[in-house]
Structure 1
Amino acid sequence: MDILSGRHPKVLVLSPPEDDEALALFRAHSALRPVIADLAHLRAWIARGGKQAVWVKLETGMHRLGEAHPERLAEAAERHGIPIEGALSHLALADRPQHPLTQAQVRRFQALCAGRRWMRSLANSAGLASLPPEAWGDLVRVGIALYGVEPAARIRRLGLRPVMELQARVLQIKSLEAGDAVSYDASFVAPKPMRVAVLAAGYADGVPRGLSNRGMVELGGALCPIVGRVCMDYTIVDVTHACAREGDWASFWGTPGLPVEDACARMVGEPPEIPYTLLSNVGARVVRMARKE
């Protein structure tokens, strides 16, 4: 997370430093700021020789990371000459602004920060869309909105458009006869003669197995159903009615006609799949390409 402060941006590392290797990164980059979630984290930071200013994570009701008594952190930091630049917390139900827990978290955060000359950050993408500006703090930590995905259907839309598209090339086109089985478990059997394309991406690349026999890809100007099980390295799609050739690119999500929310809606299970999972689970071997428009 970048904090644009004059000419010298700073970067919040949202988890506390865990070892000497992490500390070495902080020493090498003075713009990094650790987020300290309790007194033990602060003591470890001091014991390892940490010198940079820190931010503190406050417990306001989500009961994940966070310190419920920031005065203890403030006192210890002052004794050791460690400046506290700011405080943040995280909302459990940011897409439900009228929920009692959301209201309680906003009040709690404001109370814990009262009287302190700290920068503040409470709102995430959903909080930006649902809460009044006075509840956001000085900084908003947008996550899902950076991908151009609306944070939730039940709150005000931010007018975003997708900026991430997952694609794979067509490796082979095959012709099937009625009765031919496709992929593992023979979970799809061709009901009639058809054409299928084998795509060079599977669940190791971030294509969920939950899209097996349920998902769609955009290929050759058409939406093509995924047939059979999604494999580790490959996905097979029905291109009977698409103009598809070997070497063409297929899109799993991120186009106007196939947003990531659509891929989530096609999967079944509890809890329901969410865009956050698909966007953050793209495999390390997938080549990232940035395109400037």
Structure 2
Amino acid sequence: MLAHSNGIEDEPADESDGFAASGGILTVDLTALRANYARLRQEATGAEVAGVVKANAYGLGIEPVAKALWAEGCRTFFVAQLCEALELRPLLPDADIFVLNGLASGTEEAAARRNIRPVLNSLPQIRAWSALAAREGGRLPAAIQVDSGMSRLGLSGQEVEAVAADSALLAGIETRLVMSHLACADEPAHPANKAQLESFRRLAALLPKAPLSLANSAGVFLGPDFRFDLVRPGIALYGGRPLAGERANPMRPVVRLEARIVQLRHVPAGAGIGYGLSAVAEQAMRLATIGIGYADGWPRRLGNHIAAFAGARALPMVGRVSMDSIILDIGDAPLGDGDLVDLIGQNQDVDAVAGAADTISYEILTSLGRRFARRYIGESA
């Protein structure tokens, strides 16, 4: 096994395990994941570091990811929806699990029975959770989210004042966390960061005393003022760049994506290539078709202007991305049918792919499809 200084470990796939049946292989390095958690814990000294594992752990697999984070010492986890919390609970029976979107009406009892904690974002959610606590004859734990300036989720300033004025609203609720979310944390100089920090402090002071949380992945790197008692990294755990414009990514790469060559061909000068014949061979070319496409989450807009890699050699994509295939210009590269090429790896990380697609690394990871063979390596595999 060869280790690269700037890439995921290069460990050949075991074809005997059925990887040959897929068009691509998605490798997740759980050792790198754990190292990223440890790096964030070092950065956020004094604050608890939670793990955001919503959207199937950003597309990488909630079971292996959550268990690896637990092994590294993570004890608090965030998901977006109750269905995700219900999947996570049997995997980590002792974890604190919060549901960022809160609970749909009528699902409160299902959450309470499994010790799942809602993030209460509205007065109706607060009333429903408090009413359940009254019926149960006790108090139920929850987080309360305030809107500090993103206009997405959380109590408005007026609603926070209403809660502060009516102690009965929170009578049955044990406030385990007061939180908000930063809109522009990946741009450290953006004035919204300071404005949201001030707003969060003001609104949190009106609510019951509890641990505070504001920082996401990028927020961890904005400095101690933003970290409070708990930080909630997501993309940084999975190797994504936390801050826009930073040349050096402090996180280790977690993902490698390889695609299999399914056919080779030579075409003459003037041959049209791919749907719409959007590329035309200016000279005789040697082409390889690989077996993934937009049905696997590879953005269609990447046709004609990004490359795959064989080692350090770039293999430009030519023509449009199809549903199940992409065409590469491989020149005289020593490649044959069945060989694997890198789409995400040491020469092209997930942020580079996202930049070429005019999107963000979050979307690339969470779009990766079900047809990839998934392989987990590292000490927690």
Unaligned runs of 5+ in 1: none
1:239 matches 2:330: yes
In structure 2, C-alpha distance between the alignment counterparts of 1:25 and 1:247, rounded to whole Å = 48
State the match for 2:149 in structure 1. Answer: 61
Counterpart mapping for 1:1-293 below 5 A: 2=51, 4=75, 8-18=94-104, 20=106, 23=108, 26-30=111-115, 32-46=116-130, 52-68=140-156, 69-70=159-160, 72-73=162-163, 75-79=167-171, 81-114=172-205, 116-129=208-221, 131-154=222-245, 159-219=250-310, 221-253=312-344, 255-267=345-357, 272-292=358-378
Deviation of the 1:237 alpha carbon: 0.9
Contact 1:77 1:84 in 2 (8 A): no
Q: Quote how far apart the aligned CAs of 1:59 are.
A: 0.6
Decide whether aligned partners of structure 1 residues 26 and 156 sit closer, same or farther in structure 2, where only a CA change above 3 A counts. Answer: farther
Determine the C-alpha separation between the residues in 2 that align with 1:229 and 1:281.
18
Tell me, yes or no, if the aligned pair for 1:221 and 1:242 is still in contact at 8 Å: no
Rate the CA distance shift 1:179–1:47 in 2: closer, same or farther, 3 A: farther
Could you tell me how far apart the structure 2 residues matched to 1:291 and 1:25 are?
A: 35
TM-superposed deviation, 1:96: 3.4
- Distance in 2 (alpha carbons) for counterparts of 1:67 and 1:13: 16
Alpha-carbon distance in 2 for matches of 1:220, 1:156? 23
Check the 8 A contact 2:312/2:347 in 1, yes or no.
no
In the comparison of the two structures, how many residue pairs are matched?
283
Please say if residues 220 and 244 of structure 1, whose CA atoms lie closer than 8 Å, have aligned partners that are also in contact: no
CA distance in 2, matches of 1:178, 1:24: 67
Report the RMSD for the aligned CA atoms in angstroms.
2.6
Q: CA, structure 1 residues 15+252, in 2 after alignment: closer, same or farther (shift >3 Å)?
A: same
Give distance in 2, aligned partners of 1:114 and 1:171.
61
User: Relative to 1, partners in 2 of residues 1:96 and 1:40: Cα closer, same or farther, differing over 3 Å?
Assistant: same
Change (3 A) 1:186 1:14: same
Task: Report the Cα offset of residue 109 of structure 1.
Answer: 0.9
**Cα distance change of structure 1 residues 220 and 242 upon mapping to structure 2, 3 Å threshold:** farther
Deviation at 1:292, TM superposition (A): 0.9
1:139 to partner: Cα distance: 1.3
Question: SS of 1:106's equivalent?
Answer: helix
In 2: Cα distance, 1:73 partner to 1:235 partner: 55
CA drift of 1:13 comes to 1.6
Once the 2 structures are TM-superposed, how far is the Cα of residue 38 of structure 1 from its aligned partner? 0.7
Distance 1:108 1:207 in 2: 39
CA distance in 2 between partners of 1:232 and 1:180 (Å): 21
Local SS of the residue matching 1:161: coil
* Structure with more helix by fraction: 2
Q: TM-score, normalised by structure 1?
A: 0.86
